[in-house]
Chains A and B, each alone.
Chain A
Amino acid sequence: MVENRPWLTFISHLVLIIGLAIVVFPVWVAFVASTYDPKSMLSGVVPLTPGDQFFQNYYQIFVEGLSSAGAPPVGLMMVNSMVMAMAIAIGKIAISIISAFAIVYFKFPGRVLAFWTIFITLMLPVEVRILPTFEVTAGLGLLNSYSGLTLPLIASATATFLFRQFFMTIPEELSEAARIDGAGPLKFFRDILLPLSRTNMAGLFVILFIYGWNQYLWPLIVTTDESYYTIVMGIQRMVTVPDSEPLWHVIMATVLLAMIPPVLVVVFMQRLFIKGLVETEK
């Protein structure tokens, strides 16, 4: 604060509160809509105060699902999303940290080639090679399976870079000392590199968990079996019901449940989240 200008401070707070309201308002509307029964939803505009159907609606979607729209129970979809998000986050970190270790701590023929091959994946997001990737996955018999949902998304140039940059900053003395004491590469990796990388891994985990949870296009094309639906893509199945108005109270309840886990991760691991975000963009 350079000088005291009460008016400007007042305006700052006002702008921030308006911004906050715009950010929160859609979620409030969704929450309100999820607490009414379907009839009151179809008779005019959605009210702005919650109704009395909260427990009934959430119980219904959690256990029974919306069979008329071909969507499985939300509980099952959340389990699928959780499996997918965890597998992607852990898988990406695991294979990236070992390849970064190989690239930084070994000299071997083909090292530069391996690095550039991994680098190229930055330029090939799923969206631009949808059809051929689908064909490969189908050819390997991975449709409608957890491995099909996660494996093709696990390669990560960003994570490999991040670990490479981090390893380059680790003092040479550590590996020298390890070698003098007779530690082999695997022991060095396990007892020195892994503990040092803990905060980097945690920051990266937060970002990758959100990335995995929010996947949409990929689950949409590799799953046709309802028992493998993830919650984010399951919403789409509920929204596009032919010949009738969508069941808004159920959809909005699902929407809220779909955003709770990643939002909780961001709010409660804010420091790690910001660290991960800033680092992955370097």
Chain B
Amino acid sequence: MQTKRITFNNRWLPYLLVAPQLAITLVFFIWPASQALYQSVLREDAFGLSSEFVWFENFETLFDDPLYLSSFKVTLVFSAGTTLLSMGAALLLAVMADRVIRGSTFYKTFLIWPYAVAPAVAGVLWWFMFNPTIGILAYTMRQLGYDWNHTLNANDALLLIIIAAAWKQVSYNFLFFLAGLQAIPRSLIEAAAIDGAGPQKRFWTIVFPLLSPTAFFLMVVNIVYSFFETFAIVHATTAGGPGQATSILVYKVWRDGFVSLDLGGSAAQSVILMLIVISLTVVQFRFIERRVEY
């Protein structure tokens, strides 16, 4: 790894400079993570009085547990739904915003602020509008003949958290898509127009392929977001219910650890989540390395 050609000489200063960061990393990151690894192979009673080494029994129990498997499925559906909805909407808006000349700054300002809204707040906003008794959207849907009730209907509840999570994420995707669109050379598009390609053809044969690196990057970011940053949406609104319909993986780790006090099971889930984060990070980094070569 590189340093500057000219470096300073000092025996103790560099250690002093990295010490705060390293201390926090070791105490609050590395040590807890190793504890999770260690606890995932132990069986402990809820009071922490005795523990027993059980090899991979916690993992076996986990993968035999229909609740855990259903939580995995819910997370996949939730993640796919959120990613598709927010990226689709963002791409549409970005393409339109790239076209218009008048008012583009205005549109941009008003489309990016939801980035600053906390996931919990986004969840509560949509939860209120879909409230079965007083919510305006639930009322509208009743008028249209659909009886919306996310406290009873599993699909309604899942759709609710997907919409809330996607709503917040559209602004992020919009910004990156817009930047990607503006980086496409105008001359390419003009050449295609001169050759007689209409707007739709230009989009699918030129713009869309050139946007695919951005789209891939955003897909990874969105999957990470929907896997790990959406605890608040679930916890503040549906609380995993009805039944287990919206109990996504991060929600289940928290619930099993803090509410059910199943330490070994929660630790085993943490380890699985860590593996997921690590593989997603590796994918992200490999992609970025490739982009640098262009």
Contact = CB atoms under 8 A, between A and B. Distances in A.
Contact of B257 (A3, A99, A131): A131
A23 B171 CA distance: 9
A251 B124 contact: yes
13 contacts: A3-B193, A23-B170, A104-B3, A108-B15, A117-B30, A121-B29, A124-B274, A127-B231, A127-B250, A128-B250, A132-B39, A140-B27, A175-B8
B209 interface: no
A240 B238 CA distance: 10
B165 interface: no
B59 interface: no
A135 B35 contact: yes
A244 to B, nearest CB: 13
A232 interface: yes
A10 B247 CA distance: 43
A131 B266 contact: yes
Contacts of A134: 258
A236 interface: yes
B288 A282 contact: yes
Interface string A250-276: 011001001100110111001001100
A265 to B, nearest CB: 7
A135 B270 CA distance: 14
A214 B110 CA distance: 20
A129 B270 contact: yes
Contacts of A281: 217, 221
B273 A128 contact: yes
A33 interface: yes
Given A2-B190, A104-B4, A98 B17 contact: yes
Contacts of B135: 45-46
A183 B231 CA distance: 50
Contacts of B125: 26-27, 29-30, 255
A48 B136 contact: yes
Contacts of A168: 2, 4
Interface string B1-41: 11111111010011101101110111111111101100100
A8 to B, nearest CB: 6
Contacts of A233: 120
B107 interface: yes
Contact of B14 (A42, A111, A123): A111
Given A26-B125, A105-B4, A160 B134 contact: no
B113 interface: yes
Nearest to A48: B136
Main secondary structure, interface of B, reads helix
Interface in A175-207: 175-176, 179, 184-186, 188
Contact of A23 (B6, B111, B236): B111
B89 A259 contact: no
Contacts of A210: 115-116
B134 A108 contact: no
A131 B267 contact: yes
Contacts of B33: 124, 129, 132
Nearest to A47: B136
Interface string A1-38: 11101001101110110011011101101100100000
Interface in A114-160: 114-115, 117-118, 120-125, 127-137, 140, 151-152, 154-156, 160
A132 B32 contact: yes
Contacts of A63: none
A154 B17 contact: no
Contacts of B127: 239
B244 to A, nearest CB: 18
A29 B26 contact: no
A198 to B, nearest CB: 20
Shortest 7 CB-CB distances between A and B: which pairs? A132-B32, A214-B118, A262-B116, A102-B17, A132-B35, A216-B232, A106-B14
A235 interface: yes
A131 B36 contact: yes
Nearest to B171: A23
A277 interface: yes
Interface string B259-270: 000010011001
A248 B135 CA distance: 11
Nearest to A151: B24
A19 B30 CA distance: 43
B223 interface: no
A20 B111 contact: yes
A201 B159 CA distance: 39
Contacts of B32: 129, 132-133, 135-136
A20 B10 CA distance: 56
B253 A155 contact: no
A222 B172 CA distance: 29
B3 A155 contact: no
Interface stretch (B50-58, B69-77, B96-104, B148-156): B96-104
